[in-house]
Amino acid sequence: MTSTRDRGCDPHIIRNMLNNSVSIEEIQRPPTALSRLGQWLRALAEPRRLLILDLIIQGVQCNCELGEALQMAPNLISHHLKALRGAGLVKVERDTLDARWVYYSVNREALEELNAAFGAFFDPARIRPRRLTCGPDCGFIRLTELVS
C-alpha cells in the first residue's frame, strides 16, 4: 500500500494549498437531506416497485387490481407496497363498509418533496470542475526529483 507521500501528495502541502486557495464557502453541502433521499432511492431501486408506483400515481388501486395489471402474486404486491409505504410514498386507506378491502394512493406531499429533492441533488448546475490536489497533474515536485 502506498502512502500519499509515495504518490507525490504530501498531506501538509495539500492542507496548506486547500487552506490558502479554497475557501470553506466553495465546498457546498448537499442541497437535500441525504438520509431521506437514500430511503427513497432504496424503495425505488426495485423496477417492480416503480411499476406499482406508476399505477398508483395513475389512480387509487387495490391489491387485486395491481396484481392483475402486473401479473404478480398478491403477497409479492403486498411486499413491495410495504416498502413504498415505509418510504412514505404510498398512503393506505381501508374501505369504510368492508375493512378487508385496502386502497392505495400516492402520497402527494412526499412525491412533491421527492421531486424537489431529486431536482436539487441532481441539478447539473451543481457540477464543478475538479480541483487538482493530488495525482500526477497536481503540480507538486516529488522529493526524488529534487535529489536526482
pLDDT at residue 145, rounded to an integer: 59
| Full domain range(s) for residue 105 | 30-147
Q: Which of 14-28, 108-122, 125-139 has the highest mean pLDDT?
A: 108-122
Q: Do strands 90-94 and 102-106 pair parallel, antiparallel, or not at all (unpaired)?
A: antiparallel
The overall pTM is greater than 0.95? no
Which stretch of DSSP H or E encloses residue 105? strand 102-106
Least confident span in 13-17, 42-46, 110-114:
13-17
Task: Tell me the CATH number at 89.
Answer: 1.10.10.10
Exposure of 29 by Cβ count < 10 A (0-12 exposed, 13-18 middle, 19+ buried)?
exposed
Structural domain includes residue 103:
yes
pLDDT at residue 9, rounded to an integer: 53
CA atoms of 45 and 52, how far apart (whole Å): 12
pLDDT at residue 1, rounded to an integer: 47
Asked if residue 138 lies in contact with residue 132, where contact means CB atoms within 8 angstroms, the answer is yes
Phi, psi for 47 (deg, rounded to 5):
-55, -35
pLDDT band at 131 (very low <50, low <70, confident <90, very high): low
- Which pLDDT tens digit goes with each residue over 36-91? 888 999 999 999 999 999 999 999 999 889 999 999 999 999 999 999 999 999 99
Q: In this model, does residue 93 exceed pLDDT 50?
A: yes
- CA geometry: angle 129, 32, 123, nearest 5 deg: 40
Count of domains observed in the chain: 1
Structural domain includes residue 21:
no
Structural domain includes residue 95:
yes
Structural domain includes residue 44:
yes
